[in-house]
Amino acid sequence: MNKRKHFFSKKFVCIIIALLLYSGAKAQEKLSFNLEKALEIAQSENPTIKVANKEIEKKKYAKKEVIAGLFPNINVGGGFTYTIKKQTFAIMGQTLKVGQTNNYNAGINLSLPLFAPTLMKSIDLSAKDVELAVESARSSNLNLVNEVTKAYYQLLLAQDSYEVLKKGYAQSEANYEVVNNKFKQGVVSEYDKIRAEVQVRNLKPSMISAENAVNLTKLQLKVLMGLDTNQEIEIVGNLSDYENNMYAEALDVDTAMVQNNTQLKQMKLQAEMLDKQLKLNKSAYLPSVSLTSQFSYVSMANNFKFGDYQWNPYSTVGFTFSIPIYNGGGRSYKVKQTKLQMEQLTLNTQNLRRNIDLQVKNYMDNIQKSIEQVGSNKESVKQAEKGCVIAKKRYEVGKGTVLELNDSELALTQSKLAYTQAIFDYLSAKADLELVLGKDKVVNTTQKNEELNK
């Protein structure tokens, strides 16, 4: 029996260890995704978006708080008064004490605003504040999309550059082996061997820097996506995949969409809020009317025999009104301040619009320049590859030098790097242009904002 228990005990421990190892292996599983998936993860995990959505909820509660002022205000109250010395009256030479020692009252008080212009204008203002919070959340989302998109492209650039340099380094090593073998055979001079070795050593630091750049850009992308920094990630594709769509995308850009710019929209909402604020300040000149009502029970006695107390009800209903007459000019000064704020906002909006038009033109120019550069650099890569083949053949038959061979390899590496850099410049300018135009890249984001705006 003991042996059987020991067997099951060991079996149970083995199962637990296996489960722990399996869960640990799953935790370290590499996450592979494309740009669309990266944006989806970022929008659900990035703290900035969560904070912006919380701000919308807060503004909605603030609006409900103001609306609550339209509902009746009901309070239950009570009190106890102990009379130390009763009030005395002198009537026809005699003194008469009035009242009881103990006085109790309890009841319900109700008040309801009937005409409250300031409250109504405050509700309109809080509604605009919610709209501004929604647009601010949209702005946060657009900025996040821009940052994640550019970080994704930056990682593609780093990976492609690393692959180019790694291939160049491997080719330089292969060239060195060929030259070294020929040197041992006495076919080439020691100078050729040294030149080939120097070429290998010169490429090593660049390759290491490129590898470090890959690790750094991966870390930046993970932080923007809201992922754990220890999570292994792998992105799909490379920069050359985007080349075929460049021309069509450039023609499809509609600069008239600039009215969707989130900064312009926020300025417009701020102008509407200031207009509501002006009406709110002017409403302070208007009277307010409220309905009041009270229902209470009162009891008075000279002892503490609560069971013998008589509770007498009484109730009242009435109206209260308040007409503002004079407060030292405070209301007038508030109106003037709001008007000045509106003038300031108009000037700032005009300046912002000019800057946005300048940014749009600059990004469009960069896009066109990058497209032309991609075509030119692609042709340079073809020519460099052809030159590399010729240099190898010349060196193999003894008509070329190791210097020509190294130069051809270096030219090929540089042309490939310039090609990928040009594609990245195009994608980066396109992402910035979409940000300025206020283009919502992910459909789910628009749907989310519409839900939050309800």
Identity of residue 155: L
pLDDT on residue 26: 47
Quick: pLDDT tens for 28-83. Answer: 588 999 999 999 999 999 999 999 999 999 999 999 999 999 999 999 999 888 88
User: Any idea which residue has 């709001």 for tokens?
Assistant: 338
Tokens for 169, please give them. Answer: 């380094």
For residues 77 and 117, the answer to whether their CB atoms sit within 8 Å is no
Quick: pLDDT tens for 164-201. Answer: 999 999 989 988 888 888 888 888 888 888 988 888 89
Per-residue buried b or exposed e for 367-388, using 16+ beta carbons within 10 Å of the residue's own CB = beebbebbeebbebbeebeebb
pLDDT band at 447 (very low <50, low <70, confident <90, very high): very low
Number of C-beta neighbours around residue 363 at 10 A: 22
Quick: pLDDT tens for 287-338. Answer: 999 999 999 988 887 777 777 778 889 899 999 999 999 888 999 999 999 9
pLDDT on residue 90: 75
For residues 404 and 196, the answer to whether their CB atoms sit within 8 Å is no
What CATH class does 30-71+116-286+329-453 carry? mainly alpha
Average pLDDT over residues 208-236: 94
Task: Report CA-CA distances (Å) from 452 to 126, 131, 440, 445, 446.
Answer: 15, 10, 16, 11, 10
For residues 123 and 304, the answer to whether their CB atoms sit within 8 Å is no
Q: Where are the domains positioned within the chain?
A: 30-71+116-286+329-453, 76-115+287-323
Nearest-5° angle of CA 268, CA 339, CA 130? 40
Quick: pLDDT tens for 404-446. Answer: 888 999 999 999 999 999 999 999 999 999 999 998 875 444 4
CA–CA gap between residue 439 and residue 195 (Å, rounded): 53
The sign of the CA dihedral 382, 387, 388, 394 is positive
CA–CA gap between residue 377 and residue 422 (Å, rounded): 8
